[in-house]
Amino acid sequence: MRPELQPESEPSPSRAIWRGLAKRCPRCGEGRLIDGFYRVRTRCDRCDWLFEREVGDHLGIIYISTAIQTATFAAVVLWIQPSSPWTARILLGAAALGLMLLNLPNRKGLAVAIDYLSERNRDKSP
């Protein structure tokens, strides 16, 4: 059971995405989305929105965002042509891994926001 929000209080898609990236509930913007460093909470503690209906709901978006970041760093490694290629590759690899770990909670928030928007649109369709 989820309490109904008034239609005028439902966020715009861009606002819902922004809230997710900020690790807040995409629906109400008040509830915390993440427990600890990266674990998605089951429900919003403010509006009771179910963040993850099934285990693995958000893996596709996490996978795609990881692939995009990996491709970006690979392109940078190929583009910069440093004097010491192995040192640069190791440093960029470590930087890429660190960045991906640091922004994992934000990417999970993005995944929850996209899931919220698709679920909201499905509820509105006839």
Residues at the site binding Zn ion, with contacts judged by CB under 5 A: 25, 27-28, 31, 44, 46-47, 49
Give the C-alpha separation, 99 to 88, whole Å: 16
Is the Cβ of residue 25 or residue 113 nearer to Zn ion in the bound state?
25
User: Cβ 49 to Zn ion, closest distance in Å?
Assistant: 5
Is the Cβ of residue 57 or residue 88 nearer to Zn ion in the bound state?
57
Is the Cβ of residue 49 or residue 73 nearer to Zn ion in the bound state?
49
Contacts of 10 (CB under 8 A, 6+ apart): 27, 120
User: Cβ 97 to Zn ion, closest distance in Å?
Assistant: 32
User: What are phi and psi for residue 2, nearest 5 degrees?
Assistant: -125, 135
User: Cβ 26 to Zn ion, closest distance in Å?
Assistant: 8
Give the C-alpha separation, 124 to 126, whole Å: 6
Is the Cβ of residue 44 or residue 96 nearer to Zn ion in the bound state?
44
User: Cβ 22 to Zn ion, closest distance in Å?
Assistant: 13
**Residue among 33, 31, 26, 34 nearest 9 (CA):** 26
